[in-house]
């Protein structure tokens, strides 16, 4: 079974631009979560989508948004990019998103904001 895939793998943007990242979960998985990883802050939860609805949300500004499609694929958008948005963005999927389920991570998208 194919794992979680993320595109693109690398991205360079400039301040003020916006970016859209894509995540395809493991087949059959309906929950998709997004994380930001930086050296200073570690791995931080952005939001979780299940059945095309945002079910949980972390403490990030409204510039960070996402959506999920009927095939469970998800996109994350960051508007008005700031230098501090440079990070590894990780997507993780799980079956139904219940608390005791394991999340499986994709390879990540490395975003550099200049």
Partner 1 sequence: QKEVEQNSGPLSVPEGAIASLNCTYSDRGSQSFFWYRQYSGKSPELIMSIYSNGDKEDGRFTAQLNKASQYVSLLIRDSQPSDSATYLCAVNFHNYGQNFVFGPGTRLSVLP
Minimum CB–partner distance for residue 26 and partner 1 (Å): 13
* Spatial CA neighbour of 79 closest among 47, 31, 113: 113
Minimum CB–partner distance for residue 89 and partner 1 (Å): 10
Q: Which is nearer to partner 1, 45 or 79 (CB)?
A: 45
Q: Write out the residues near partner 1 by the rule CB under 8 A.
A: 31, 33, 35, 42-45, 48, 50, 55-56, 58, 90, 92, 94, 97-108
Tell me the two tokens of residue 28.
Answer: 């059959």
Phi first, then psi, for residue 28 (nearest 5°) are: 95, -15
Q: Which is nearer to partner 1, 90 or 111 (CB)?
A: 90
Using CA atoms, how far residue 37 sits from 11, 24, 91, 95, 108, in Å, is 15, 19, 11, 23, 10
Q: Which is nearer to partner 1, 70 or 98 (CB)?
A: 98
């Amino acid at each position: 079974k194919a794992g979680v895939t993320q595109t693109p793998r690398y991205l360079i943007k400039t301040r003020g631009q916006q970016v859209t990242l894509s995540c395809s979960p493991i087949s059959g998985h309906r929950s998709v979560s997004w994380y930001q990883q930086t050296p200073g802050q570690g791995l931080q939860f952005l939001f979780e989508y299940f059945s095309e609805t945002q079910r949980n949300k972390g403490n990030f500004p409204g510039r960070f948004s996402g959506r999920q499609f009927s095939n469970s694929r998800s996109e994350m958008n960051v508007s008005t990019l700031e230098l501090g948005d440079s990070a590894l963005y990780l997507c993780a999927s799980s079956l139904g998103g219940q608390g005791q389920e394991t999340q499986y991570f994709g390879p990540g998208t490395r975003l550099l904001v200049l």
